[in-house]
Amino acid sequence: MAGKDRQDRSGPGKAARPADFFRSVDSAPKGISVKRDRSVTDGFLISFLALTVLALSTAAWANAQWPGSVPTDLIFFTADRFNAVLPIRIFLAIFFVVYAAYAHGPILARLKLGFSFLFKLAAVAAIVDGAALLSWQQADAVWPVHVQQILVGLSGLAIFPHTVLNQARLPAPCGSPVRRRGRYYEYWLVSVAALVSAIGAVIAITLYGGEVEQLRNLALLGGMGPGVFLAQQFFTVQLATLGTLRNALSRRRAFSPPVAVLIPAHNESHLIAQTIDAIDEAAAHYDGPVRILLMENCSSDDTAEIARQAIAKCRCARGEVIESLIPGKAKALNHGLELITEDFVVRIDADTQIDPKSLRIAMRHFASDSVGTVGGLPLPLKKTGLLDKFRTIEVLNRHGYFQVALGAFNGILGIPGMFCIYRRDVLMEAGGIVEEMNGEDTDIVLRMTNLGYRAVSDPRVQFRTEVPDSMDFLREQRTRWFRSLYHVTAHNREMLFQGNLITGAVVLPFTLMNGARRAMMAPLAIYGVVLFFLFGGIYDHPHLTTVLAVMFGMPFIMACAVVAFWRRPDLILYMPAYMAFRLLRSYYTLGATLTLVYPGSAKERRFTPPKPLAVPEGERIEQVEKPPIIAQ
């Protein structure tokens, strides 16, 4: 994107927007994150490539000099020590060393970080290999070497977030009370679905073994274990079906109490009028009063004036413009919450346009007193650009499929703050919106879950939001999103492995491991290419199809199936490019982890986010009053 003084227009007749409008104090919260140039991530990957070639070349040279003396991976014991399926332990060791070298912090902190990574990896490898040795000695049972490799590989996905959470400077635990008690049916539901999936995968492999093998050879079902890939998809489809039925039952009753719409706005003059118009249209389809509070948060453009004009033209909603003079979205939200008396708060980003029926559909879920928050499907505002296509595929898979599956067993971690409705008394009981950290929307949902309230994600509640139209914008957005995983987890670490909450016991740990997998995907792609093209004679497994299957195969199939289900078969044409976009997403995920701060001493690791501020004295409230028009 051009320099900061440049402005552009989002369309004919629309207000100009600053070129850097997407940057704010929320982009990199001080104390727990730093802004780092893209060259840091590039340097990481170049160093990773160089160290990979050096390590594997050294092992190959040693094997040539002393045949049979050096194992093909860092394995202490296995019955097939010299035929490792994939040198995954070497990969993890190199990844951990390079990450520690490029982490942000003093040299001693980075040395300690690298030592912690390698010590944990060595300990896990010793335990796994020791168990294999005991199995061989005591029971005459030989573990296949790939089983040992998979166990250590999965452990590596846990070692990364565990070490980061314990050594980075992150928000201190929020201390939110956990009042929810164990709901065993959630665990039973997940367990039964997993059992049915395993049985289904076995049956599929037994009855259609030839077809499965063909798909495996085409890199579609995972080169090292097609049964695992099949079972995973059977599992998710079951839960998504149950989640869809649960959403349908949840929204069956009409419910239309008064609502307040809270809009934090910073440099959003180019879209704020359309956002307000969409809210007014939704109010026309809603049977209760709708009041708009637009929190003008330190804009350098004419957001406030355009918003006043748009509110004045509203037919079915009334509203007011409020000057919130302390920078930060969370601060603006908390300021607005103190001014709201309605029982339900509709949070909408200033660049989000809700569909006309979304408010009415979403509010129906609150007819149940157990529901604390409701969200929906965040589709792109435009449909023309390549990034818009990628975002649509991403949204349909994430929010139109996986999020629905999580809702089947109350496993939803967060609802995007682009459009989200809260039960106000529960929101206030949970302590309001946390400030000065990323992921405040996910954080408040987790704290409301701790209080015993259910989060609902209903794809029929649709809204459209701005998609980055430049690489700078995309990088800023994804860095903020991916970094929030560690901010939010640290702030809610007390719920990790908390048996009363399936989100803390199962979903959050899985999400952390998935985040580690995503951060490792780009380095793993480099590693796979080096193995295949330079060391294929030493590592005859995995074949290139295996690497492709793990990274692209089944995700490709399921993404195609999901967009077809949502009646968007046109998106299948973009699916190969979307798979490449996933590598770019991995690149940004890796970059996000490199913006975390590693302090020199343990006492500097905890950062306490400030409590929500009271409304500062002297803040000006300008109201555009008109009698509400209630849709019939």
* Full DSSP string of 528-542: HHHHHHHSTTT---S
Q: In what order do the strands lie in the sheet with 290-296?
A: 352-354, 454-465, 371-380, 419-423, 344-348, 259-265, 290-296, 318-323, 621-624
Residue 434 dihedral angles phi and psi, to the nearest 5°: -65, 145
Tokens matching residue 84: 């490792």
Residue 535 dihedral angles phi and psi, to the nearest 5°: -130, 30
* Long-range contacts of the stretch 517-521 (C-beta < 8 A, 24+): 517/157, 518/482, 518/585, 518/586, 518/589, 519/160, 519/482, 519/586, 519/589, 519/590, 519/592, 519/593, 520/95, 520/157, 520/160, 520/586, 520/590, 521/551, 521/582, 521/583, 521/586, 521/589
- Pair 282, 358: CB distance under 8 Å: yes
Helices (H), 323-467: 329-337, 358-364, 386-397, 403-407, 424-429, 440-450
pLDDT at 142: 79
170: Cβ–Cβ under 8 A, 6 or more apart, which residues? Answer: 32, 486, 487, 490, 491, 596, 605, 606, 607
pLDDT at 613: 42
pLDDT at 146: 76
pLDDT at 2: 35
Residues 555-582 as b/e (b if ≥16 CB within 10 A, e otherwise) read: bbbbbbebbeebeeeebbebbeebbebb
Helices (H), 365-470: 386-397, 403-407, 424-429, 440-450
Strands 290-296 and 318-323 turn out to be: parallel
pLDDT at 606: 80
Burial environment of residue 533 by CB neighbours within 10 A (0 to 12, 13 to 18, 19 or more)? exposed
Nearest partner of 293 among 272, 322, 269, 268, judged by Cα: 322
pLDDT at 244: 97
Tokens matching residue 328: 């930060």
The ranges of the chain annotated as CATH 3.90.550.10 are 251-470
CA distance 120 to 151: 14
Burial environment of residue 320 by CB neighbours within 10 A (0 to 12, 13 to 18, 19 or more)? middle
- Pair 449, 369: CB distance under 8 Å: no
Count CB neighbours of 185 within 10 A. 10
Nearest partner of 546 among 525, 562, 560, 561, judged by Cα: 525
Q: What is the DSSP letter of 438?
A: S
CA distance 112 to 567: 51
Helices (H), 81-144: 88-102, 107-139
Burial environment of residue 39 by CB neighbours within 10 A (0 to 12, 13 to 18, 19 or more)? exposed
Type and span of the H or E element at 580: helix 575-593
pLDDT at 544: 56
Nearest partner of 373 among 461, 429, 445, judged by Cα: 445
* Low pLDDT (below 70) residues in the chain: 1-24, 67-71, 79-85, 180-182, 208-229, 536-554, 610-632
Distance of CA 140 to the CA centre of its chain: 44
pLDDT at 444: 94
Nearest partner of 560 among 533, 542, 586, 579, judged by Cα: 579
CATH of region 251-470: 3.90.550.10
Nearest 5°: the CA angle 413, 380, 593 is 50
CA distance 413 to 406: 9
pLDDT at 28: 85
What is this structure's pTM?
A: 0.89
pLDDT at 80: 59
pLDDT at 556: 80
